[in-house]
Every structure is written in structure tokens, then in C-alpha cells.
Amino acid sequence: MIQPWNGQWRTHRFAWLILGLIAIGAILFAGASTAGAHASLTKTEPSADARMDASPEAVRIVFNERLDTGGAKLFVLDELSKQVAGGRDPERIEQGKGLQIPLPKLGEGHYTVSYSVISEDGHPISGAYVFTVGNPAPLPDASQLDPHKQVGHSSHDHGGTALTDRLFLLYAARIVYYAALLVFAGLLLWSVQRSPSETLKQARDKAIDIAGKFMLLAALAYVFISMMDLMRGEPVSAWLDILTDTTTGRLYAATLLLGFAAPLVGGIGLAARLFWTAVMLFVEAWSGHASVFKPVIYTVGLDYVHLVAASLWSGGLILLYVVWRKERPEAGRFALVFSRWALLSFLVLWVTGILSTLDFLPSLAYLFYTAWGKWLIAKAAISLLVAIAAFLIRRRLARGDLPPNGLLKADVGLLAAIVLTIGILTYQTPLPANEPLHYHEMGADLHVTLRVTPNAPGDNSYILKVWLPETLGNPKQVQLRLLPAGREDVGFIDVPIKAFEDDEMDSFPEYAKFAFEAEGPYMPFAGEWKAQIRVTDSKGTELVRETTFRVY
């Protein structure tokens, strides 16, 4: 009776053992399948690299399996790398497999979609891609700010750091021109002062007469020397074409015409004085860097207001100094009026200057990348000294005392220093020049070359070459990925490279070359970028090379 029970027990135990092994195997198999099949992106709207005539209404991304219910991010960046839509917890679609965010009406430009999700098995997935709306113009760079290239000529080291005889003459002409412009325009603006004393009126009109003649000479020298610099290597007969057929040339021509009118303005009347000032300052605002940046109405408008405030302060200070030398009590009375307007002018100068700088530069770090930024810092430092001098003068006036002669002369000297910085600063470019990227690295297991042209924000051409030992044969996979450095919230952008036949003579003994190319806006905004090259050889070994570079 006992023997059958023992046999039955052993049979049951064996069956349970088999079932347990099957269950463990199933669990291991399921785990292995899950680990090898994380969620992957199957659909995007707009699609990667899409070029659209109009703004899409929404961004949608869909994966091949459900996503975890938390931790999802989906957002869109514009060409300035500013977020224009989306963020955390986007709307879920496609039964939990997809995400969606609505879009505002987008203007022309390259837009970056960045996503970060967690698949249902807990695996994090992130990435990014680019789509384009309309036919966006290239973002402003150093070449667009160079007047030589604006008229179709080579740069000639525009704004270089080496002070040659040519640059010295050019800077001198610009400094004299800006001194004449700010003082003359400012004196004309002070013509609106109501009921000035006879002494003040006579001093102002005499100063306007002298400054008008000086303005003519300064404008002639400025335009002539600027055209000589612009037309180096060109015949004199081509000058007329530049003056009539290009924006830069027409602005120079307008400066000349207004310069010839300057000596006549003082004797015509108040309306003519204000009209000349308004037109001349507009021409100068349009001639500067502001006209290259967008929106033009905003940038040129800021520059125009900046010039008006600078003129009001410059002309008023010179008038105060002239009256001071002639009649001290009258200078004291005018100083009370001038100090109030000088304070207002300086507030306007600081506000418009800061706003313009923020519009010109992707970040304030760019101030240290160029000579323009360093001269701007010098100008700001001098402006602080002017503010201190103005405070001391106003404190003396509040006590009923006249400002000391030395302090007034120091203020005029600081004005001269600011004009000097303006003459140099306005010839420099706020943005550094972009240079094509040529990255090459050699190793026993892999050689790589990456070329990016022109290596600027927006559309670029990419050429990637890899050399592998001939014994390995063709690679299984080659990837080029771009990542904005320092932006942990933005994923890698995969560049869709395609193989091509390269006939360039750059072979290496015992290595086989594989060449790939792509073209598109895969660096949609300025900043520091990391290029990652991933090569999987025929044995399944993955080789990774990285380089970091900056585009402006």
C-alpha cells in the first residue's frame, strides 16, 4: 500500500519540477524580449525634415507601444533655441502610445521638436528632430554685418584687430563723423527749448553754424574714406554703381546729400532743423547693425531712439560748455535744465543699449567672443563714469553752486572717449565669423573625417568619411548625431546620412573608406554643439567618436 503512494508522489514532484522550469524559462524569455524591444518612434507629425508652406496646428509623436504614465516631455524650440510650445505632461493619444501638443502660429523658420518619454518597461527614450516652415532666410552672422560682403565684395579683414594705416584712417574718419553728427543733431534738437535767454540763443546759433560746416567736412571725409575701403581693387568708375545700386551705397549717398545741406539748416528755421535731424538719424540707424536683425522695425527703432538720446546729451553738453566759457551765471541756469534732460537721456541710452545688445547676441557670453563686445564693455564703463560726473554736477547745482570747471571739462572728455569707442565699435561685428568645420581623427580601429559647411545655424552640408580595417569589410551601421551642448533638455538630432561615391584622394593603406553625405537644418540654432559619430563594424563592435564645436 505504501509503495504505490511513493511512486505517485515522485511522479507529481517530477511534474511540478518540469512546470517550474517551464515557468522560469518563460519569465526569462519574456524579460529578454522586453529588454531587447524597447519602445521606438514610429510616426511624427510634422515629419522629420518636413518643409511646410504654413504653420502646423500641432506636433504629434507615436511609438510602437504604450508609454509610462509619467515623466513625458514634448516641446518645440525656435531658431533662437527658445521654447515656443509644449513642456511637461503633454496630451496622450493613440491609446497611450503617443503624445500631442498644440502649436501657436509659427512664422518662417527652422523648429526643433524634442521629446523625452519612459516606455512601459521603464526604459527612458529621448531624441529630437527638425522641421521647417516657409523659406527662412539665414540667421544674421558676421558676413551679413560686413558692408564689403553686402555689396558683393570680399571681407578684407573687416574689423580686424591689427591696426594698419588703412584702419587708422578709417577709424579716424568715423570718430570725427560721429562727433559731428551727435553734436550737430543735438544742437538742432536744443532749438526746441522754449524762451531761451538771448545769451543762450546766440551761443546756440553760433555753435550750430560752426557745427554745420564741420558736419559737411566730416560727412565728406567719412563717405570718401569708407568708399575707398569698400572699393579696394575696384575702378573708380564702379563707385557710381555702388552708390546707386546697393543699399549700403544709397545710404552713403544720402549721408552726402544731408552733409551738403548741414551748413544751410541753421538759417532756415525750426521745422527744417528738426526735419534734417530726423532724417539724418534715421539714415544712420538704418546704416548700422540694427538693420540686419529682426524684426527690423524694432531693432532700427531702438537704434534711432538711442541716437536721439545720445544727440540730446552730446549737443546739450557742448552747448553748456560754450555758454560756461562765455557767461557763468547763464551757464548755471542752463545747467539746471540740461541736467534733467541728461538724466532722461542716459536712462534711455542704457535701456535701448541693453535691449539692442540682447537682440543682437544669442547670449551675453558673446560679449567676450569679439572685439565689438569688448569695445561695448569699455563704452559701458565710460558711461558709468559719465553718470558719476553728472551726479556730482547735479549735486552742486542742488546746493545752488556752479559746477567746477574741472568737472565740466572731465564730462566733455568722457564724451570724447565715448565718441571714440562708437567710431571703432560700429565698424566691428557683434557676431564672430563662422568657419567650416573640418574634424579628423585617426586610430588603429577607425579613422573619421567630418566636414560641415558653412557651419552656421540653419542649412548645412555634411560629409562624413570613415575608414575601417579592410579585414572587417563593410560596417553594419554608421550614424551621425548632433546634440546642443549644455542643453540637457534637448535630445540628439539624427542626421539622415546617405552613402555616396567619393573620388577624393584620401585613402589609407589597409583601410577601406566609406563616405556619407547629408544636407539640411540639423543645427537649427546657434550655440555649442557636439557631433557624435557611431560606427558598428561587421563584428558588432560599436566605435564612437565625438567632437565639440561652436556655431555663431
Beta-carbon contacts of 498 under 8 Å, excluding residues fewer than 6 positions away, are 516, 517, 518
Give the C-alpha separation, 361 to 369, whole Å. 11
pTM of the prediction? 0.76
449, β-bridge pairs: 440, 465
- DSSP letters spanning 434-452: P--EEEEE--SS-EEEEEE
Mean pLDDT, the chain, whole residue set: 87
Express each pLDDT in 168-207 by its tens digit: 999 999 999 999 999 999 999 999 998 889 999 999 999 9
In this predicted structure, the answer to whether residue 4 has a pLDDT above a threshold of 70 is no
Grid cell listed for 431 = 557676431
Q: What are phi and psi of 457, to 5 degrees?
A: -60, 140
As a residue count, the chain comes to: 552
Nearest to 148 by CA among 234, 220, 257, 253: 234
Nearest to 112 by CA among 137, 132, 93, 126: 132
| Spatial contact of 310 and 182, defined as CB atoms under 8 Å apart | yes
Which ranges of 231-269 does DSSP label H, i.e. alpha helix?
Answer: 239-245, 247-265
How far, in Å, are 40, 50, 146, 238, 320 from residue 528 at the CA level?
28, 24, 23, 41, 50
- DSSP letters spanning 488-510: TTS-PEEE--EE-----S---TT
Average pLDDT of span 300-305:
96
* Predicted confidence band of residue 32 (pLDDT cuts 50, 70, 90): very low
Write down the pLDDT at residue 12: 55
Could you give the count of Cα atoms lying within 13 Å of 43 in the half-sphere of its Cβ?
11
Minimum mean pLDDT among 32-41, 86-95, 487-496: which range?
A: 32-41
Write down the pLDDT at residue 243: 83
| Spatial contact of 535 and 446, defined as CB atoms under 8 Å apart | yes
Average pLDDT of span 221-238:
82
| Spatial contact of 337 and 193, defined as CB atoms under 8 Å apart | yes
Residue-range domains of the chain with CATH = 41-133 (2.60.40.1220), 164-425 (1.20.1630), 437-551 (2.60.40.3340)
Strands 124-133 and 51-52: parallel
Burial of 324 (0-12, 13-18, 19+ CB in 10 A): buried
Minimum mean pLDDT among 5-9, 48-52, 362-366, 508-512: which range?
A: 5-9
In this predicted structure, the answer to whether residue 546 has a pLDDT above a threshold of 90 is yes
In whole angstroms, what separates CA 403 from the centre of its chain? Answer: 44
How big is the CA angle at 456 (ends 455 and 458), to the nearest 5 degrees? 115
Phi-psi region of 274 (alpha: psi -120 to 50; beta: other; left: phi over 0): alpha
Write down the pLDDT at residue 35: 41
Minimum mean pLDDT among 42-56, 114-128, 214-228, 461-475: which range?
A: 114-128
Write down the pLDDT at residue 255: 96
Write down the pLDDT at residue 145: 63
Write down the pLDDT at residue 516: 98
Average pLDDT of span 515-539:
95
Average pLDDT of span 70-94:
90
* CA dihedral of residues 474, 480, 481, 484 (deg, nearest 10): 150
**269-301: burial string, b at 16+ Cβ within 10 Å, e else:** eeeebeebbeebbebbbbbbbbbbbeeeeebbe
Could you give the count of Cα atoms lying within 13 Å of 343 in the half-sphere of its Cβ?
11
Write down the pLDDT at residue 404: 81
Average pLDDT of span 227-243:
77
Q: Which residue has the cell 549717398?
A: 253
Minimum mean pLDDT among 163-167, 220-224, 262-266, 412-416: which range?
A: 163-167
Write down the pLDDT at residue 143: 66
Express each pLDDT in 391-443 by its tens digit: 888 888 878 787 788 888 999 999 999 999 999 999 988 988 899 999 999 99
Write down the pLDDT at residue 27: 44
